[in-house]
Structure formats: C-alpha cells, structure tokens
Structure 1
Amino acid sequence: MNLVQRVEHWGDTHHPQWLDIVRILLGAFLCYKGVDFLMNMGVMLGLITNRMSFGAFTEMLMGNYVSFAQILGGILLILGVLTRFACLLNIPVLLGAVFFVNTSLYRPFSESLLAVLVLLLLILFLVVGNGPVQLLKFRSDEKTDTL
C-alpha cells in the first residue's frame, strides 16, 4: 500500500460528521469568491499587475484561472465529489493570495488571515477527503434499493 492509499484510508476512517458541514461552507465561500472575482475582474487584474509583471495574455489567463478554479472547486466541495482534486485546484490560488496579494497581515480589515484560514482548510480536506456526506454515496444507495 503506497503513501497515497494510506492517506486516503486514514482520511476515510477518521472523518467526523461536523467536518462535512465545514467542507460545504468552504465550498459555498469559494463559489462566492469566484463569482465576486468574475464581477470585479478589473480589480483583480490590477492586483496581479501591481504585484507581478507578466504579459497581458498571462494576466488574463491567471485571472480566469482564479475564477474558474474557485467556482468549480467550490461546487465540487459542496457536492463532495473529487474533493482532493478541488483542493489541488485551489491551493495555488490561495498560495498566491497569501504570499503575493495580501501581504499585510496586521492591517485592519485585512483578508490575509481569511486567506490563510481557507488555505489551511484546503490542505485539511486534501488529506481527509470527502467524508460520509457526499453526492456519490447517496446515488449509490439509490441503486442498491432498487435491486
């Protein structure tokens, strides 16, 4: 049994029910932030431009990746499907938010502590996985009832 299989097995056996509520709330928050980034794409591109010097195409690509990753990752986290994949999509986005965009931790009303918290939750769900409340489990229960 390799390391990935051992981590998956440990995550499946040590998953409390309340952690599913946290996963669903994290997914809803990521969806909200993804839509917020889409609505304010100019502000986000301005932040990217001020912190790093890329070409216009790369900046637009990064802006669209951030919005896409957060919306898709949030939906997957809410449904409990491909949770580890959703976390892998969003961890680079949150690393960029922590290290490049939100650099001042001690400013009032700073979102950097929120970005660190979301990053830690994504790392947690990367390890623990879906949990018992997930879309595929309910779907497989319906199939066994009809047979």
Structure 2
Amino acid sequence: MNSVKSLNKWANAHTYLPVDLVRIALGVFLFMKGISFITNIQYLNDLISPIDKIGGGMFLVHYIAPAQLIGGIMIAFGLLTRWAIIAQLPILIGAIFINFMGEMQSQNLLLALLILCICIFFFFYGSGKNSADYYFKMQK
C-alpha cells in the first residue's frame, strides 16, 4: 500500500497536462473501440475465432465490449484508473496473442502493443492531478 501512495505522490508532483491528455485520449480510444465491437459483433466474433477452439468464446464476447466501454470512460475521467487498466490488460494481451494464432496483421499488432505500453505506463503512473481520483481525494 505504501508503494501505491508513494507512486501517487510522485505522479501528482510531476503531473503535466500532455500526460493527462494522453490518458484522456487512451480512454476515448478504448471507449470508441468498445462501441465498435458492440455495433459490429460479427467482427469481434471473427477476431476471437482463433482462440474460440480453446473455449470461452461467448464469455469473451460479453467481457470485451463492456470492459472497453466502461474502462474507457473511467480512464478518460481518471476514476479508478488503475482498476480500469487491470481490466484492459487481459484484452490487450489477448489482442497481441490473437495475431500470432490467426492471420498476422501487423497494423493491429502494433496498435495493440502501443496501447498495452500506454496502459502499463498509466498503471504505474496513476491518473494524475487532473482527474476525478485527485479531485475526490482532495475533498476529504
């Protein structure tokens, strides 16, 4: 717990507006990706078809879209950012894994790697000073 508090103190002392804008852009991107999956469910089924043989395909369909929608909103507002990113990590690791099991699409692989790296950064960095977490913490 002390490590999380020390990370928050460091992040709040070194918060810059461009970093917050990257967090907001990440949240909006994930939200839009969730909307894309909901509106085109067949595309999501096609994406997870290489790992559907393992099982749990219907669970994945019902986990990915809502997690991206809700997680994207939470990340954009900076509300429970680390928890929202924890929910995104299996999806992003799966997106990378699918590229190696199915047809390799380098553009999707690079995008998934980039988003994964940004999510890992914000997992350690936190939500920053311009966030709902910081606002609620200061209300005490």
Q: How far is 1:88 from its partner? A: 0.5
Which portions of structure 1, spanning 4 or more consecutive aligned residues, are displaced by more than 6 angstroms?
none
User: Over aligned residues, Cα RMSD in angstroms?
Assistant: 2.3
Q: How far is 1:29 from its partner? A: 0.3
Task: Give the corresponding residue for 2:31.
Answer: 31
Q: How far is 1:44 from its partner? A: 1.4
Task: Assess, with a 3 A threshold, how the Cα gap between structure 1 residues 52 and 60 changes in structure 2: closer, same or farther.
Answer: closer
- Find the aligned partners of 2:135 and 2:120 in 1 and give their Cα distance: 25
Deviations 1:59-107 (A, max 9, x none): 111111110111111000111110101110101100000122x33364x
Task: Give the corresponding residue for 1:8.
Answer: 8
User: Residues 27 and 74 of structure 2 are in contact (CA less than 8 Å); yes or no, is this contact kept in structure 1?
Assistant: yes
Task: Assess, with a 3 A threshold, how the Cα gap between structure 1 residues 132 and 60 changes in structure 2: closer, same or farther.
Answer: same
Task: Give the corresponding residue for 2:50.
Answer: 50
Q: Percent identity?
A: 34
Task: Give the corresponding residue for 2:40.
Answer: 40
Task: Give the corresponding residue for 1:80.
Answer: 78
Task: Give the corresponding residue for 1:122.
Answer: 119
- Find the aligned partners of 2:58 and 2:110 in 1 and give their Cα distance: 26
Structure 1 spans left out of the alignment, 5+ residues: none
User: Residues 8 and 126 of structure 2 are in contact (CA less than 8 Å); yes or no, is this contact kept in structure 1?
Assistant: yes
Task: Give the corresponding residue for 1:135.
Answer: 132
Task: Give the corresponding residue for 1:65.
Answer: 63
Would you say how many aligned residue pairs link Structure 1 and Structure 2? 137
Q: With the length of structure 1 as denominator, give the TM-score of the two structures.
A: 0.80
Deviations 1:93-127 (A, max 9, x none): 00000122x33364xxx221111100000000000
What SS does structure 2 have at the residue aligned with 1:131? coil
- Find the aligned partners of 2:137 and 2:116 in 1 and give their Cα distance: 31
Q: How far is 1:17 from its partner? A: 2.0
- Find the aligned partners of 2:86 and 2:136 in 1 and give their Cα distance: 25
Tell me the amino acid that sits aligned with residue 7 of structure 1: L
Radius of gyration: which is bigger? 1
Structure 2 spans left out of the alignment, 5+ residues: none
